[in-house]
Amino acid sequence: MFAAWLKERRKPLPSLVELKREIDSFMEDYDTKVEADKQRAKEMVGIPDDDGWTTVTRVGKKRGIRQEDVNTAEAGPLAKKKNSEKELADFYRFQKSDGKTKQLSELRRKFEEDKEKQALMKATRKFKPF
């Protein structure tokens, strides 16, 4: 046993070209095996096995964001949408009425400013409404 180990230990390392060729062939075999497994799993969806049981899988479902990605830019729009759904802008009735009155006063103020601009343009004879 020791002699076999010593013989294996003294054997030289393979060259980089041979090592790369061996790794590439292994990876190709692995990829084909994985593809075959996926294809077999797709074919078996909804087909009961020998005992009559049907395997339920999550094939084709969109998964959520992983926990590590929550703070990244990908999670930004989803997190903002989720937070905006939680908080209500006008929860109480008086808040709604205050919002309406503020909006109305803002529209009136803008209307008055526009009237002043029109009067100024008329005075300088640069007013051309059409």
The pLDDT of residue 34 is above 90? yes
pLDDT attached to residue 63: 65
Q: Considering only 9-13, 59-63, 85-89, 104-108, which range has the smallest mean pLDDT? A: 59-63
Specify the pLDDT at position 49. Answer: 80
What H or E segment, with its residue span, contains residue 95?
A: helix 93-123
pLDDT of residue 121: 85
The pLDDT tens digits of the residues spanning 80-120 come to 677 666 777 777 889 889 999 999 999 999 999 999 999 98
Per-residue confidence band for 32, with pLDDT thresholds at 50, 70 and 90? very high
- Greater confidence, 10 or 70? 10
Ranges 2-6, 33-37, 39-43: which has the least confidence? 39-43
CA distances from 109 to 98, 104, 113, 122 (A): 16, 9, 6, 20
Note the pLDDT of residue 130: 67
- pLDDT at res. 16: 92
Average pLDDT, the chain: 82
What CA–CA distance (Å, rounded) separates 99 from 104? 9
Query: What is the C-alpha separation between 79 and 43, in angstroms, rounded?
Result: 37
